[in-house]
Amino acid sequence: MNRLFTAGTALSLTLMLGACQDSSEEGQNPDQEGNLTEEEADNVIAYDYFDLEVDYPDLEEAYAVEYEKQGDGQDVDITDKLTDKEYDAEDDSLAFGEIKPAFDKLDFNEDTPDEEVAQQLVDAFGLREDYKKIELEVDFTDGGEKQFTIENS
């Protein structure tokens, strides 16, 4: 009976360990060092170019983000007069860390109505709802484009 119990325990442990694989990276094929391939990295950020400018009644050019893919990296500039933060080319990795969570929340394409995109931008970047004007220019990785200016009345 002890042998049966031991064999059953060993089988249970084997099945449990086999089932405990990390499924968070399913569908991704990291290389030997754990880095994503260039194609997978392109799928992470849906934009080749992203230029956002937001004006408020009390503050012109209050918030601006410019993102551009460049070879293996990116160029990111952020001006946030609301919180007195500014990142330029020397701070690309810090700036990217600031905008990546917002990019992850955005889900629009060139056919999405401008008002819906504006609301997504406000929500994703934590912008104030009382904006005077939002200007956006986007080149999507898949080749599409979106440009608009929307004024809040």
DSSP annotation of 37 reads P
Which residues 6+ apart lie within 8 Å of 103 measured at CB? 45, 46, 47, 50, 67, 124
Domain extents in the chain: 39-151
pLDDT of residue 48: 95
Pairwise CA distance, residues 131 & 16, whole Å: 53
pLDDT of residue 88: 80
pLDDT of residue 32: 41
The burial of 52, by beta-carbon neighbours within 10 Å (0-12 exposed, 13-18 middle, 19 or more buried), is given as buried
pLDDT of residue 21: 45
pLDDT of residue 11: 42
Structure tokens at 10: 């060993």
pLDDT of residue 110: 92
User: Whose structure tokens read 């912008």?
Assistant: 127
**What is the DSSP secondary-structure string of 84-97?**
TEEE-GGGHHHHHH
- SS3 state at 113: coil
**For residue range 67-99, what is the model confidence (pLDDT) as tens digits?**
999 888 889 999 999 999 998 867 778 888 889
The pLDDT profile of the chain, 153 residues, written as one tens digit per residue, is: 545 444 444 444 444 444 444 433 444 444 443 333 444 444 468 999 999 999 999 999 999 999 999 888 889 999 999 999 998 867 778 888 889 999 999 999 999 999 999 999 999 999 999 999 999 999 999 999 999 999 987
